[in-house]
Amino acid sequence: MNYKNFDFEAMEARIPKGEVRTRFAPSPTGYMHVGNLRTALYTWLIARNAGGSFILRIEDTDQGRFVEGATEVIYRTLTECGLTWDEGPDVGGPVAPYVQSERKDTYLPYAELLIEKGHAYYCFCEKTESEEDSGDFNRAADPCRNLSLDEAKARVAAGEPYVIRQKIPSEGSTTFHDAIYGDITVENSTLDDQVLIKRDGMPTYNFANVIDDHLMGITHVVRGSEYLSSAPKYNLLYESFGWAIPTYVHCSPVMRDQHNKMSKRHGDPSYEDLKALGYITPAILNYVTLLGWSPRGEQAEREIFSLQELAEIFDITGISKSPAIFDIVKLNYFNSEYIRAMTPEEFHAAALPYITSAGPEGMDTTLIASLLQQRCEKLTDIPAQLDFLKELPEYSIELYTNKKSKTDAAISLEMLNATLPILEGINDWTIDNIHDALINYATANEFKNAKVLWPVRIAMAGKTITPGGAFEIAYLLGKEEALRRIRKGIELLSAAN
């Protein structure tokens, strides 16, 4: 569409005004890595804190990097995280469409308008994308920059392939303001004439961003600090059109360590990976929010927040310039705190798939969950804690020796021989009845409880650390299996003596 036939005024009239409007604009190129999730979080929190609108926009102009199913991952991740959007591809809105490839007829008229204004030009030079990406473009040597408009249009009309480039001023400097980094000034001579429209007619990421952000009324643009170098060129585009410049919020990178950024290529986890590793969504969100942001005032010393609480207190001034290091140990702490704070019903629902994969059928999963909740850092810890329920592991009789319980192999054999008939005599196999039978035996013989219970637990579990003690384990195993294991313990200890 020729820019002369394009209704710029109608596009301007659609722009919502009078509220904070933020956008999360991911590319459908893979999973949601931690840095991307943090950008989505900060963008959502800024909008919610101000009572504004959060927009989801899919930036799919780079079809070469498109990954099948990646858009669905974006939707699923945001939905799971509670980052609801007010406008987007699936819900519509006043400035639809919200997928860049569906807006492709919008960008060329704006690029042509820039050409007419003298802020862009047709370039017919052969140049590979890799050369463009390297920034190796000497605009002083570009013969197209100074072509007359009439000559350039004649070459376009003749069918000669071209790109449209931004015409950066040759002299002077550009200053832009960032909410985190303050005023930054760069010499225009250091900026390249970036491509706005590619040979296939599609816009570049940088150009489409500016056009869409303006036409969608975006007031705050949140992105990684790696885009700081592009900000001057964004500013010049806004100024060339005479548009208001949004508030820039550039966030420092999330680092794997002091020297390396997190990267999927290096095996660093995405949101989906963290879920698969047993981390729960509220803990992930809480921790990721604090990667580069901290609360102020009376909340300064606090660490645990719900998403709604974060929305109420989130302030851009709390975002740090310093890179944030992703600390898995710290995430483990957050996750364990959230797990412990769950209601028993919530934890049972979250833990059930892991419990059923580890324990034999027919066990009381509600009881198992209650035993696990205070002993669990991650949901994936559960199978290893329950493996003994399905099958008694091979174990050394050295486990029967415990100084605190004052037991050794000989004492343990004595205790198992004594408790076996007591347990055999229990008709109603309940935790309370098992408890009373064993404790009554210890009391009657003036033994410390541990002297009786340690050997019984080792015989039934074959390990020293278990969720629950002798009573709960015996109940979960059922009478027949519990007694079988105690007899097995007697057999092992007898053979060793």
Catalytic sites, residue numbers: 264
What is the amino acid identity at position 113?
A: L
**Residue 433 DSSP SS3:** helix
Residues whose CB falls within 8 Å of the CB of residue 147, separated by 6 or more in sequence, listed in order: 121, 122
Per-position b or e across 111-130, b if 16+ CB within 10 A of its CB: bbbbbeeebbbbbbeeeeee
Kindly list the distances between the CA atom of residue 476 and the CA atoms of 47, 108, 330, 346, in Å, as whole numbers in the listed order.
50, 69, 34, 21
Point out which residues pair with 251 in neighbouring strands: 224
Q: Which ranges of 252-392 would DSSP assign to H, the alpha helix?
A: 271-276, 281-289, 307-313, 328-341, 344-358, 365-372, 382-390
Residues whose CB falls within 8 Å of the CB of residue 160, separated by 6 or more in sequence, listed in order: 124
Taking the C-alpha atoms of residue 66 and residue 59, their distance in angstroms, rounded to an integer, is 10
Neighbouring CB atoms inside 10 A of 491's CB total 11
DSSP annotation of 261: B
Q: What backbone torsions phi and psi does residue 399 show, to the nearest 5 degrees?
A: -65, -25
Residues whose CB falls within 8 Å of the CB of residue 366, separated by 6 or more in sequence, listed in order: 344, 348
The H-or-E segment that residue 209 falls in is helix 205-215
Q: What backbone torsions phi and psi does residue 222 show, to the nearest 5 degrees?
A: -105, 125
Q: Judge residue 455's burial from the number of C-beta atoms within 10 Å of its C-beta, 0-12 exposed, 13-18 middle, 19 or more buried.
A: buried
Examine residue 89 and say whether the peptide bond preceding it is cis (omega within 30 degrees of 0): no
Taken as a whole, the chain contains a residue count of: 497
Q: What is the dihedral of CA 249, 331, 305, 27, to 10 degrees?
A: 40
Do residues 83 and 41 make contact, with C-beta atoms less than 8 angstroms apart?
yes
